[in-house]
Amino acid sequence: MDTGTHLVMGFTLGGLATLSPIVLHDPHLTNSLLLTTIIGSQLPDSDTILKLRNNAKYLKHHRGITHSIPAVILWTLSLSALMTLFNNREHFGLYLLWSFIAVSVHVFVDLFNAYGTQALRPFSKRWIAFGIINTFDPIIFAIHLVGVPFVIFHFRAGPICVMLYFIMIFYYAFRYRQKQIVIQTVTKKLPDVKRVYVSPSIKYTHYHIVASTDSHHYVGKIKKRIFKIHDVFKRIPLPVIEDVKAAFKDENVKSFLAFSPVYIWELIGHDDHKELRLIDLRYRTETYYPFVAVVKFDYEHNIISSFTGWIFSEKKLQKKLKVES
């Protein structure tokens, strides 16, 4: 989910904490636990700081190790110890409990969008992405936003937040059912499909689709249960040549491949260099596929520069490659 949604969920989790009579009748404890859930709901996304280094590091680690089982334990212990340090030590158990809940809920809800997390590390590095909810879902945001004033003004925060979480659970069940209908719609049109990648849009009736058969990738959209195919790409394996071997050792390409399960490739020759492009098919705009990895080579197979990330024009891409060189 986005930062704003995690923030309002931190508030409603703080509201749930007031269901305990000990918390409800202690204003200081109520406020300190609210601060705990707000901070805990943001901690796993502290890896955003990796953007200051480069896109490769950010893509490789965002929602990776910071959303793993060891990280959940580390965030929980660190936050609960910090809050206990500045508050009553008798309530360490409560700080531990609500730190764990806040961090775990953050990781859990991140599983439901198309980006996903590596939540099973260290047991598995597989990305888990259910593709049910958009990264920002206005309905989920609104559900929790409703609870914020009740939490701030301490007015029936516990019961109100319980009701809001029940509504959210039913909404998730509804969106799960919607995804099943989407997959059924795709398989009716493409009966030989082997894998369907579903990326929900901000509108719950609109979905971006990549459907893969043994021979082709089909990129399209579903709007109100109508599946329209926009592009068809033949599946061609990458050639085993020196340029490709060199590219697969590049940090930007390794980060792209770790993140992107479905892509096409292009090898473009120029007068003084060549470019290998890997293009993720899951994020098509009206005219462009913005998530790419690009490597520039000279004709001796040496890498001149490389880049991975979101680019929306050829001019900006070439500018990025010059900066990275």
pLDDT tens digits, the chain, 325 residues: what are they?
A: 889 999 999 999 999 999 999 999 999 999 999 999 999 999 988 876 655 555 656 666 667 778 889 999 999 999 999 999 888 788 999 999 999 999 999 999 999 988 788 888 888 878 788 989 998 999 999 999 999 999 999 999 999 999 999 999 999 999 999 999 999 999 999 999 999 999 998 888 899 999 999 999 999 999 988 999 999 999 998 888 888 888 888 888 888 888 788 999 998 887 788 889 999 999 888 778 989 999 988 888 888 888 888 887 777 777 776 655 4
Alpha carbon distance 129, 114 (integer Å): 5
Task: Enumerate residues 6+ apart whose C-beta is below 8 A from 262.
Answer: 195, 197, 210, 212, 217, 280, 281, 282
Sign of torsion over alpha carbons 312, 215, 295, 124: positive
Q: What is the structure's pLDDT at 50?
A: 58
Q: What is the pLDDT of residue 51?
A: 58
Domain positions in the chain? 3-174, 189-234, 242-324
Q: Contact at 8 Å (CB) between 9 and 148? A: no
Q: What is the pLDDT of residue 62?
A: 64
Cβ atoms 243, 293 nearer than 8 A: no
Say whether the peptide bond before residue 237 is cis (omega within 30 degrees of 0). no
Contacts of 146 (CB under 8 A, 6+ apart): 160, 164
**Would you mind telling me the total number of residues written for the chain in this entry?**
325
φ, ψ (nearest 5 deg) of residue 225? 70, 15
Residue 60 pLDDT: 61
